């Protein structure tokens, strides 16, 4: 890490402290050139894959967007904020298992439907009907009849 004052490359860590239950580290550093001190923060960053849409365009994955589509599907249903948060976390793990480079909106949609099917039937149908809007009816019915794969969600 370069010294922000004299830009010398050699700096020494003089103190290290875990923050926020261990998910970030605060480091106090000292420059070996000018002897000034500064602080750095190290946090975890997980790189999500790009999302390829039906029309071929790509966009970056956004957790807030995922959250709000789940919120909408679960509106006025007996599902807690914690449950939705856990679904998002599990979904992100599954998405990363598909690829860390690129996933399609279809792959994401299918995962969301599998989670919602286990969570709440009304939320599932709501999401599925919006999500499958542009696809044919047979496919939608098949989806409803579809496999009973259980995705483990901590409830
Ligand atoms: Zn310096």
Residue 11 has phi, psi (to 5 degrees) of: -130, 150
Residue 79: strand, helix, or coil: coil
Determine the angle formed by the axes of helices 81-98 and 105-119, rounding to 10 degrees.
140
Per-residue confidence in pLDDT tens, the chain, 155 aa: 889 999 888 899 999 998 866 778 999 999 999 999 999 988 877 789 999 887 888 989 988 888 888 888 898 999 998 899 889 989 999 999 999 899 998 899 899 999 999 999 999 988 888 776 645 444 444 554 544 444 444 44
Indicate yes or no: pTM above 0.75: no
| DSSP for residue 30 | E
Structure tokens at 144: 């409803």
Residue 63 pLDDT: 87
Question: How many Å lie between the centroid of ligand 1 and the Cα of residue 33?
Answer: 5
Question: How many Å lie between the centroid of ligand 1 and the Cα of residue 44?
Answer: 27
Question: How many Å lie between the centroid of ligand 1 and the Cα of residue 29?
Answer: 10
Question: How many Å lie between the centroid of ligand 1 and the Cα of residue 37?
Answer: 8
Question: How many Å lie between the centroid of ligand 1 and the Cα of residue 1?
Answer: 11
Question: How many Å lie between the centroid of ligand 1 and the Cα of residue 18?
Answer: 25
Question: How many Å lie between the centroid of ligand 1 and the Cα of residue 31?
Answer: 5
Question: How many Å lie between the centroid of ligand 1 and the Cα of residue 23?
Answer: 28
């Amino acid at each position: 890490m370069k010294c922000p004052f004299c830009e010398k490359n050699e700096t020494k860590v003089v103190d290290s402290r875990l923050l926020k239950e261990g998910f970030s580290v605060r480091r106090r550093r000292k420059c070996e050139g000018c002897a000034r001190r500064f602080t750095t923060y190290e946090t975890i960053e997980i790189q999500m894959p790009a999302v390829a849409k039906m029309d071929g365009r790509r966009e970056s994955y956004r957790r807030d967007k995922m959250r709000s589509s789940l919120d909408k599907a679960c509106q006025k249903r007996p599902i807690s904020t914690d449950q939705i948060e856990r679904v998002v976390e599990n979904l992100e793990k599954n998405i990363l298992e598909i690829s860390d480079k690129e996933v399609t909106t279809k792959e994401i949609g299918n995962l969301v439907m599998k989670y919602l099917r286990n969570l709440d039937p009304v939320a599932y149908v709501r999401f599925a009907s919006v999500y499958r809007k542009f696809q044919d009816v047979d496919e939608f019915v098949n989806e409803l009849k579809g496999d009973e794969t259980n995705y483990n969600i901590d409830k």
